[in-house]
Amino acid sequence: MDMSPEKTRIGFIGLGVMGHSMAGHILDSGYDLCLYNRTRSKADDLVHRGAVWAESIKDLAENANVIISIVGYPQDVDRIYLDPDGILENAAPGTLAIDMTTSEPALAKTLYTRGKEKRIHILDAPVSGGDLGARNATLSIMVGGDKDAFNRALPLLQAMGQNIVYQGPAGSGQHTKMANQIAIAASMVAVCEALAYAKRAGLDPDVVLASIGQGAAGSWSLNNLGPRMLKGDFAPGFYVKHFIKDMTIAADSSKDLGLDTPGLDLAKTLYQRLADKGYETDGTQALFRLF
């Protein structure tokens, strides 16, 4: 498949905190772009810039030869791909579909198998980097599926991210994202505890952050979300409710693998407590509220 802008019409589903910026980068790269989102108003500025609105997923699937999706939950992925009005029943043979939602590895394998029956090539390609990575096109993208499909998709993925790695067969991208989320889950607890300790000890937490962020304790979460915590900026770069979803998938997958994950379990419990207090639509840095 020729992936040049002249030969490729992209269908993009999901214009949330990250998807909107990602779709914008595709448009800026010169591709014809067709959009669908449950809330149409989120597409208005992209349509003004030259994208075309699709009235349904069926309409989008019938008019694109590459489809990119990034939606909220596994059940959303299931619906947009497997419903009678969804992608697999309406896209033409030879279509390449890239699901960038953080979803279940088992579902990624099901979509791949069902897609293969219809000669639709499906990649699972979840991302990491939050709103900043999406805006700056610096996302890490973890890809599972057939290697030749990955090679064809690479120019599009490079429009949205920088660290793009083929992980293996279908489901491998999602498994990699679970490893990513497990690492983040425990580290977010540690970041909150460290900054709370600095404040309780009477230190200037911004000065402390300047020191420990450049040492062995330095991490993406500490250096990017730590300053937001200290400013009381809890606007979502990635929703608490979606992180809980990811941690639930990771915990279930870990159990299937016979793996004990006490750090993940603790973080999930704390984030659920945060959501129960009414903060599920805050950014993940809002865990600091509990401390």
For the chain, report the end-to-end CA distance as a whole number of angstroms.
Answer: 52
Catalytic residue among 177, 231, 241, 268: 177
Rounded CA separation 172/150 (Å): 12
DSSP letters along 109-121, please?
A: HHHHHHHHHTT-E
Q: Which residues contact 80 (CB under 8 A, 6 or more apart)?
A: 13, 57, 69, 71, 86, 87
In the chain, where does DSSP find H-type helix? 19-28, 44-48, 57-62, 74-82, 87-90, 105-117, 130-136, 147-158, 172-200, 205-212, 220, 226-231, 240-256, 262-274
Rounded CA separation 268/194 (Å): 19
Output phi, psi for 195, to 5 deg: -70, -35
Rounded CA separation 194/287 (Å): 13
Q: Which two tokens stand for residue 61?
A: 């699937």
Bridge partners of 63, per DSSP, are none
CA nearest 64: which of 38, 37, 96, 40? Answer: 96
- Catalytic residue status for 241: no
Asked if residue 127 lies in contact with residue 100, where contact means CB atoms within 8 angstroms, the answer is: yes
Q: Which residues are catalytic?
A: 177
